[in-house]
Chain A
Amino acid sequence: MKTMTEIVVPQLAESLVSATIDKWLKQPGDWVDIYEPVCEIITDKVNAELPSTVAGKLVQILVGKGETVPVGTPICIIETEGSEAASQVEAPSIEKSEPKQSGSTSSAAIETEDAPMRNRFSPAVQQLAAEHSIRLSEVPGTGLGGRITRKDVLAYVASGAANGSSAAAVNASLQAPRMVDAAAQVRSSGLHLTETPRLPKIEVEGSAGAGRGDNFIDVTPIRNTIARNMRQSVSEIPHAWTMIEVDVTNLVLLRNKLKEDFMKREGINLTYLAFLLKAVVNAIKDVPIMNSMWAVDKIIVKRDINIALAVGTEDSVMTPVIKNADHKNVAGLAKEIEELARKTREGKLTLSDMQGGTFTVNNTGSFGSILSYPIINYPQAAILTFESIVKRPVVINDMIAVRSMANICLSLDHRILDGVICGRFLQRVKDNLESFNLESKLY
């Protein structure tokens, strides 16, 4: 017995309402094993491979590459061959998933409930729909399992033309867009927030004009996510900024002493960042309000210290999270940093790598910055940057010495934090960093 099973966009995280198909890994006709990825999806949080819930043959792709669809939308159909029993097992699971759906989209969900063929369009139907600019979701289906037949489309076209009676052709062309607009308005799923903004279609009139013309780069989904998050952070959070400088001379000596052994022992670099994280985490322990978020009528202070680490690539920046960073020693942090950096470079971050950050650290010194004004990683309370270590003449006990100095910058949510508490926090970070010496232990 053959059964058709739809693969739907799963609820990858509570907050997720939609996902964008990045790339299809399987094509119609391909065999798909259970749990084998069928496509890559991009969400606000992460890129993920979407595994198949059944084994079978992929017969139809319903959502094309680059399209954004709400959670719960079927994206492809897999034909499975199994016994009656198998399909019976399947049935309840489909029912289970339905309540979730029906919350947002009422009529459509009900319709698909008893109309399994509702969203299976024959080539003839698709062609006619394209020809007459019809939204198939509005066409009643009279075929088997609620399928929209070719005749249904023709009848729909005829009825549309009937409305306009005279000058049918003109009306038909006018009507099509109007119907589309109406449908867009009644959408209730809050899609307007999460939908990928349509790219402006810029038409260059005539030849390029005086200049050599401009290049237009399509905004990628990840770029779009970054843009939205940044805008949200800047527009919602009243940012304030402060900076201190830290003498890391001893830390430099310590690291130089340990780095070769560490490389031999662990196979990874011992970076300054690991020490910095340790210093930051310990400072947060002393000033827990740094690890909080604004919730309008209250401030939520997070108990877990999960450090989000800004990791840049050529064309984007991601913020993977080191969970429970306060449970780790410097060596452990170094390993985590290495691991997350590698995953970011390889594009293999998973959703769990990205979730739950409570405070963000950005190692801006890695690209040579000596001063930066970071934007808070929404909805956290603060973000800290660690700038380049540079040798500078410094006055100590009225004598001039050459010391390794670094700036640490902090952007803070001024609704939660003020100057005094942040000053205390930064002072703690500074003390922690400066107290590393040749006797400090990594483990």
Chain B
Amino acid sequence: MAVIEYIDAIRKAMKEEMDRDEDVFVLGEDVGIKGGVFTTTKGLQEQFGEDRVLDTPLAESAIAGVAIGAAMYGMKPIAEMQYSDFMFPATNQIISEAAKIRYRSNNDWTCPLVIRAPIGGGIFGGLYHSQCPESVFFGTPGLKIVAPYRPYDAKGLLKAAVRDPDPVLYFENKKCYKLITGEVPDDDYIVPIGKANVLREGDDITVISYSMPLHFVEQAAADLESEGISAHILDLRTLQPLDKEGILEAVRKTGKVLIIHEDNKTGGVGAEVSAIIAEELLYELDAPIMRLCGPDVPAMPINPPGEKFFLLNKEKVKEAMRQLALY
């Protein structure tokens, strides 16, 4: 099994799905000749031609609108938003159209659409290249949202998203592209949407997270092991629908739970996860539910000290995990 980068896993998934199914096509800004600003779609146009890898105008609402129309017509579009920050012009299309088509047409019409969007900071991208917009879409029934962390899941979830009969938002963390590597099988496999994954077994604390922060969590857990603190780590992988059973099972393991994400705290995914735990597991909790998230400030600062303050890192995560373990 080859060890590959996160970004390669995403590219491989698109390539394999385009090979497998002629209806699958890619569209977005600079996805063609340039191969995407992050090179995620590099080589696809050469292989599949201009008709299946479309360079679009700088209009996200158009990208989403075209993709929705094509999907309703039976195609399997993979629409790329260059940065998730740019998704907001397309928000109306996504929330009011893509998410509601099946319901609105009483099952007559479907919208098998995938929208890929890079999230997260840490690239000195400042206000418009660093956001985590999960919470904007999180409360919209009709949308599925995935946010893989391991290359294995990046590939498997993208393939599952392409094959899903309903719209799926695929949030890939741009910081993960080159940083996170892992074993990914060459064969055709999918990772089911709606299933969380235990990254590490432990019995002192449970850490629930998704996407890039899991990198820090894994590092911190390794460090804390030497202090005698054993962490149970759950990768949500899918944010909508949340794997309720998986979450409850992971929390039951230790009774102490820390929820971590880069998106800001108020109204974030962690709020919902903690609500599920509070609703179901009050009598098995051994400590108050803890959250470690981005601060509630309007956006990522562009100055490096500000960005460092805003972003999670291993030390912040480790400190929070230690605190919970000591409680």
Residues on B with C-beta less than 8 A from A255 are none
The minimal Cβ–Cβ distance linking B285 to chain A, given in whole angstroms, is 5
Contact call B203/A144, Cβ cutoff below 8 A: no
Which of A123, A126, A127, A143 is within 8 Å of B327, CB to CB?
A: A143
Quick one: closest B residue to A153, CB to CB? Answer: B286
Residues on A with C-beta less than 8 A from B327 are 143-144, 147, 149
Interface residues of B in 245-281 (CB under 8 A from A): 254-256
Contact call B287/A122, Cβ cutoff below 8 A: yes
Contact call B254/A150, Cβ cutoff below 8 A: yes
Quick one: closest A residue to B283, CB to CB? Answer: A123
Contact call B326/A124, Cβ cutoff below 8 A: no
Contact call A122/B203, Cβ cutoff below 8 A: no
Q: Is the CB of A125 closer than 8 A to any CB of chain B?
A: yes
Q: Is the CB of B46 closer than 8 A to any CB of chain A?
A: no
The minimal Cβ–Cβ distance linking B287 to chain A, given in whole angstroms, is 6
Q: Given the complex of chains A and B, what is the CA–CA distance between A143 and B288 in angstroms?
A: 13
Interface residues of A in 125-160 (CB under 8 A from B): 125-127, 143-144, 147, 149-151
Say what secondary structure dominates the interface of chain B.
loop
Quick one: closest B residue to A148, CB to CB? Answer: B286
Cβ proximity bits B279-317 to A, threshold 8 Å, 1 near / 0 not: 000111111000000000000000000000000000000
Residues on B with C-beta less than 8 A from A123 are 282-286
Residues on B with C-beta less than 8 A from A127 are 283-284
Q: Is the CB of B204 closer than 8 A to any CB of chain A?
A: yes
Contact call A122/B326, Cβ cutoff below 8 A: no
Cβ proximity bits A107-124 to B, threshold 8 Å, 1 near / 0 not: 000000000000000111
Residues on A with C-beta less than 8 A from B203 are 151
Q: A143-B326, A147-B327 are in contact. Are A124 and B204 (CB under 8 A)?
A: no
Quick one: closest A residue to B288, CB to CB? Answer: A122
The minimal Cβ–Cβ distance linking B274 to chain A, given in whole angstroms, is 15
Tally of contact residues, A, Cβ under 8 A: 12
Residues on A with C-beta less than 8 A from B326 are 143-144
Residues on B with C-beta less than 8 A from A125 are 286
The minimal Cβ–Cβ distance linking B141 to chain A, given in whole angstroms, is 31
Say what secondary structure dominates the interface of chain A.
helix
Cβ proximity bits A38-65 to B, threshold 8 Å, 1 near / 0 not: 0000000000000000000000000000
Quick one: closest B residue to A130, CB to CB? Answer: B283
The minimal Cβ–Cβ distance linking A392 to chain B, given in whole angstroms, is 72
Q: Given the complex of chains A and B, what is the CA–CA distance between A143 and B285 in angstroms?
A: 14
Quick one: closest B residue to A145, CB to CB? Answer: B327
Q: Given the complex of chains A and B, what is the CA–CA distance between A151 and B255 in angstroms?
A: 9
Quick one: closest B residue to A142, CB to CB? Answer: B326
Q: Given the complex of chains A and B, what is the CA–CA distance between A127 and B285 in angstroms?
A: 10
Residues on B with C-beta less than 8 A from A149 are 286-287, 327
The minimal Cβ–Cβ distance linking A141 to chain B, given in whole angstroms, is 11
Q: Given the complex of chains A and B, what is the CA–CA distance between A205 and B255 in angstroms?
A: 43
Q: Given the complex of chains A and B, what is the CA–CA distance between A150 and B327 in angstroms?
A: 10
The minimal Cβ–Cβ distance linking A158 to chain B, given in whole angstroms, is 12
The minimal Cβ–Cβ distance linking A150 to chain B, given in whole angstroms, is 4
The minimal Cβ–Cβ distance linking A197 to chain B, given in whole angstroms, is 32
Quick one: closest B residue to A123, CB to CB? Answer: B283
Quick one: closest A residue to B282, CB to CB? Answer: A123
Cβ proximity bits B194-207 to A, threshold 8 Å, 1 near / 0 not: 00000000011000
Residues on A with C-beta less than 8 A from B255 are 122, 124, 150
The minimal Cβ–Cβ distance linking B268 to chain A, given in whole angstroms, is 23
Residues on A with C-beta less than 8 A from B285 are 122-124
Residues on B with C-beta less than 8 A from A144 are 326-327
Q: Given the complex of chains A and B, what is the CA–CA distance between A149 and B204 in angstroms?
A: 10
The minimal Cβ–Cβ distance linking B203 to chain A, given in whole angstroms, is 7
The minimal Cβ–Cβ distance linking B321 to chain A, given in whole angstroms, is 14
The minimal Cβ–Cβ distance linking B258 to chain A, given in whole angstroms, is 15
Q: Given the complex of chains A and B, what is the CA–CA distance between A143 and B254 in angstroms?
A: 14
Interface residues of A in 289-332 (CB under 8 A from B): none
Cβ proximity bits A404-433 to B, threshold 8 Å, 1 near / 0 not: 000000000000000000000000000000
Residues on A with C-beta less than 8 A from B204 are 151
Quick one: closest B residue to A154, CB to CB? Answer: B203
Residues on B with C-beta less than 8 A from A150 are 254-256, 286
The minimal Cβ–Cβ distance linking B252 to chain A, given in whole angstroms, is 9
Q: Given the complex of chains A and B, what is the CA–CA distance between A32 and B204 in angstroms?
A: 36
Q: Given the complex of chains A and B, what is the CA–CA distance between A151 and B286 in angstroms?
A: 9
The minimal Cβ–Cβ distance linking B193 to chain A, given in whole angstroms, is 31
Q: Given the complex of chains A and B, what is the CA–CA distance between A122 and B284 in angstroms?
A: 8
Q: Given the complex of chains A and B, what is the CA–CA distance between A17 and B107 in angstroms?
A: 73
Q: Given the complex of chains A and B, what is the CA–CA distance between A359 and B266 in angstroms?
A: 69
Q: Given the complex of chains A and B, what is the CA–CA distance between A373 and B182 in angstroms?
A: 94
The minimal Cβ–Cβ distance linking A60 to chain B, given in whole angstroms, is 13
Q: Given the complex of chains A and B, what is the CA–CA distance between A124 and B254 in angstroms?
A: 9
25 contacts between A and B (CB under 8 A): A122-B255, A122-B285, A122-B286, A123-B283, A123-B284, A123-B285, A124-B255, A124-B283, A124-B284, A124-B285, A124-B286, A125-B286, A143-B326, A143-B327, A144-B326, A144-B327, A147-B327, A149-B286, A149-B287, A149-B327, A150-B254, A150-B255, A150-B256, A150-B286, A151-B204
- Which residues in B have some Cβ–Cβ distance to A below 8 Å? 203-204, 254-256, 282-287, 326-327
Instruction: List 6 tightest A-B contacts by C-beta distance, closest first.
Output: A150-B286, A124-B286, A124-B255, A150-B255, A122-B286, A123-B283
16 extra interchain contacts, Cβ-Cβ under 8 A, other than A150-B256, A151-B203? A123-B282, A123-B285, A123-B286, A124-B283, A124-B284, A124-B285, A124-B286, A125-B286, A126-B283, A127-B284, A143-B326, A144-B327, A147-B327, A150-B255, A150-B286, A151-B204
